[in-house]
Amino acid sequence: MSLKHKLKVLCANNDITLLDIMKAYNKAYDKSMVSQTFYRMVNSNNMRYNQLSDMLDSIGYEIVFRRKRDGDQ
C-alpha cells in the first residue's frame, strides 16, 4: 500500500483532508510548506521519515513498527 493511499485512509477515518495535515504540520512546526510541494511528496512516495513523523505528530498520530503477522508475510 502506497504512502498516498495510507494517508487518504487516515484522512477518511478522521474526516480531514491531506491539506489539513499539511496545515497542521505548518502550524505545529512553524513551517511554510506549500500545497504543491506537499502533494508532490505524497504522490511520488518521496518523504523523509522525520517529515512524515512530524506531520503525523501534528494530527496526533505516530509511526509504529511491528512484526508482520503470519498471514501478512
pLDDT at 73 over 80: no
Query: Has residue 28 been placed in a domain?
Result: yes
Query: Has residue 10 been placed in a domain?
Result: yes
Query: Has residue 68 been placed in a domain?
Result: no
> How many domains does the structure of the chain reveal?
1
Query: Which residues in 13-40 are b (16+ Cβ under 10 Å) and which e?
Result: eeeeebeebbbbbbeeeeeeeeeeebee
Query: Has residue 73 been placed in a domain?
Result: no
Query: Has residue 9 been placed in a domain?
Result: yes
pLDDT at 49 over 90: yes
Query: Has residue 20 been placed in a domain?
Result: yes
Q: What is the pLDDT of residue 1?
A: 82
> Where in the sequence is the domain holding 41, given as residue range(s)?
3-62
Amino acid symbol at 10: L
- Report yes or no: 21 and 33 within 8 Å, Cβ to Cβ: no
Query: What region does 65 belong to: left with phi over 0, alpha with psi -120 to 50, or beta?
Result: beta
Single pTM value for the model: 0.85
Q: What is the pLDDT of residue 40?
A: 94
Query: Has residue 39 been placed in a domain?
Result: yes
